[in-house]
């Protein structure tokens, strides 16, 4: 049995007030699932450059400052036929503007934590969003 390689990928969590930007995936195998904008890191590409590129490709928004949030392994035991990803999640300062879904994103919009509870979410999206929104609210107080 051959093991699939673990692929590098990025996600960008962008908080605006008490909401976080999510995209609804438009292609299998995660079609219909909501996640932070993101995708694979291309060969020779730096992590931060990939994060900026993916945010722009999927939402039309340009990331200003990016900060590392955490690294997540998806499908670490190769439990499914889906590839495994070493996913680095970054937070971005809000560049303003209206997100427009593009590339493999079917929708792009900001959601509150309450709204997110009714969405099919990828992995740790809810936990990361909650932490970032709470941190943003505390820094404003």
**Residues assigned a catalytic role:** 107
Contact 22, 35 (CB under 8 A): yes
């Amino acid at each position: 049995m051959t093991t699939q390689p673990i692929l590098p990928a990025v996600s960008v969590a962008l908080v605006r007030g008490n909401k976080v930007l999510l995209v609804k995936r438009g292609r299998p195998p995660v079609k219909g699932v909501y996640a932070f904008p993101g995708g694979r890191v291309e060969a020779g590409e730096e992590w931060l450059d990939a994060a900026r590129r993916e945010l722009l490709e999927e939402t039309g928004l340009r990331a200003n400052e990016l900060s590392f949030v955490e690294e997540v392994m998806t499908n670490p035991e190769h439990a499914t036929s889906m590839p495994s990803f070493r996913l680095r999640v970054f937070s971005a300062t809000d560049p303003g503007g209206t997100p427009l879904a593009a590339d493999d994103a079917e929708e792009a919009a900001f959601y509150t934590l309450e709204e997110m509870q009714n969405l099919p979410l990828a992995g740790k999206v809810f936990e990361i969003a909650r932490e970032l929104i709470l941190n943003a609210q505390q820094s404003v107080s």
